Structure 1
Amino acid sequence: MRTLLRPEPVTETLVHESDDAELIVVGSPERYRLPAGSAAVQLPAFTHRPVVVVRRAGEARGLVVAGVDGSAGADAVLGFAIEEAALRDCDLRVVHAAWEPGAVPEAELALFTDRNRLFRTRAEMLDGAVHAWTRRYPEVRVQVSLQLERPREALLEAAAGADLLVVGDRGTGGLDPLLLGATSSAMLHHAPCTVAVVPVPRPAALQAA
């Protein structure tokens, strides 16, 4: 461990120092509704490393919750979450809230006219994504929860009983924290437990740039 004192703002310093880091950990000054300019809000949008925003410690629940969708970042979220569950000797609950018609390709919009078909399609996707990780971590007890409701409501309900909530960034990145993604941003502001935001892995060519 080493201590570094720099004159730049906290977010700028942490982004700069995170180039060779595996993880960034920051504290949360408020349990709910973080200040817009806080490092906890800005870092997940500015950096390409997982960011853990630690809430005030409470009684351990023995549960890690992973919020996944059908995006490219879902595998990274699952990998981070199941590894944390293994390290903490916790159970893992994988939550997929499928009712998000505004965030799917146009070709998939027809699914939302048939709830049974939507459920079957998303269940198949979810089983395939989870299975690869349960084979690698057979010691972790995994529960899969597929819900036909909006992600924000489903994840906040699940987070109420969790020690850690893991979500993807889902945004486009850049200099605007709002580009983090609406659901991820809502979890940072409102989830009652510690939140980890895991970015989509960058191609090797971009990491080397």
Structure 2
Amino acid sequence: MKHHVAVGVDGSPESRAAARWAAQEAVLRHVPLRLVHAVDWPLDPVFPGLGRQDVDRWADRALTETAEELHRLHPLLEITTRRPAAQPAAALAAEATDAGLLVLGSRGLGGLVGFLVGSVAMSALVATDTPTVMVRIADDPDSPQAGPGSEVVVGVDIHEACDRVLAFAFEEAARRNCALRVVHGWKMPAAYTYVPFIDPDDERDIGRSITHMVDDLLLAWRHKFPDVDVSPSVRMGSAGDHLVRASQGAGLVVVGRHLRRSPLGTHLGSVAHAVLHHAAAPVAVVAHE
């Protein structure tokens, strides 16, 4: 099960939505699905009188009910369950080490559209190098409010090595048989901060130059995935803002984050942070150098 899809399950509506999304992704990838529920014992004192057997029974029930539901939806999908005794974030990160994808659930932010990323999900996300997808209830493939998602959207930075991010995005677009929109946001050079008037010709020239750089970046990937319809979107302004706008109606948004080099902090990055908290589609976070 080297390339299976792993999903965190805790019995909540958010985790059930994530499990259904993960099952559909596993079917697309032709790989097994693993349901993971971590039990951290002893529990917080806020649950007095709750014994270990009670917790174990509740965990087993959450896994069993989720597995049975997914079997009904996808009878041919191979599904296994795991119940490690460890802190949830650490257990999910450990389970992701031999998985091709980790999927986690999150509550939506209502009118703000995006995600409410809890401490467990955030800790697991930054503790693993495995691509991780955040899913809201609105992204549930069986939800009446979930849209079909006509494209995959990916954010790129021409100043960063983003092969892992592009590989993930192109592969997702190829297996979904959908278009891929490549988004890059750029800003005028710092020297222009001190110029009282910016020549529009300079702005256009810089924009054209950056567009050519993005096209060059995508050239090898177009050859590798000739059947994927690629649409670059290069605009001046915040990359995070452009990605959030592009997420409307998308099936998946892909962003990168730097590999964790320090035990301190979340190391998520401003663009990934903005997209996670305001995107209107599931968000895949891919670690890269």
| TM exceeding 0.5 | yes
**Count of aligned pairs between the two proteins:** 193
| Displacement of 1:38 | 3.6
- Residues 42, 177 of structure 1: 8 Å contact kept: no
Residue number in structure 2 paired with 1:143: 231
Give matches, 1:149-164, under 5 Å.
Answer: 149-164=237-252
- Choose which of 150, 155, 162 in structure 2 pairs with 1:67: 155
Residue number in structure 1 paired with 2:22: none
- Confirm whether residue 165 of structure 1 aligns to residue 247 of structure 2: no
**Larger RCO: 1 or 2 (CA < 8 Å, sep 6+):** 1
Distance 1:110 1:128, change over 3 A: farther
The structure having more radius of gyration, on CA atoms, is 2
Whole-Å separation in 1 of the counterparts to 2:245 and 2:236: 14
Distance 1:124 1:109, change over 3 A: farther
| Displacement of 1:117 | 3.9
| Displacement of 1:7 | 2.0
Give matches, 1:1-209, under 5 Å.
Answer: 1-31=79-109, 32-39=114-121, 41-55=122-136, 56-57=139-140, 58-99=146-187, 109-110=190-191, 114-170=202-258, 172-200=260-288
1:119-178 CA-to-partner distances (Å, cap 9, x unmatched) read 133212201111111111111111111001111211110011211000001475544453
| Displacement of 1:200 | 0.7
Which structure 1 residue ranges, 4+ long, deviate > 3 Å from structure 2?
A: 108-114, 170-178
AA partner of residue 237 (structure 2) = E
Identity of aligned residues (%): 35
Whole-Å separation in 2 of the counterparts to 1:134 and 1:182: 28
| Cα RMSD for the two superposed structures | 2.2
| Displacement of 1:23 | 1.6
Could you tell me the TM-score, scaled by structure 1's length?
A: 0.82
Residue number in structure 1 paired with 2:42: none
What are the ranges of 5 or more consecutive residues in structure 2 without an aligned counterpart? 1-78, 141-145
Residue number in structure 1 paired with 2:34: none
User: Is 56-65 or 139-148 further displaced after alignment?
Assistant: 56-65
Whole-Å separation in 2 of the counterparts to 1:181 and 1:171: 11
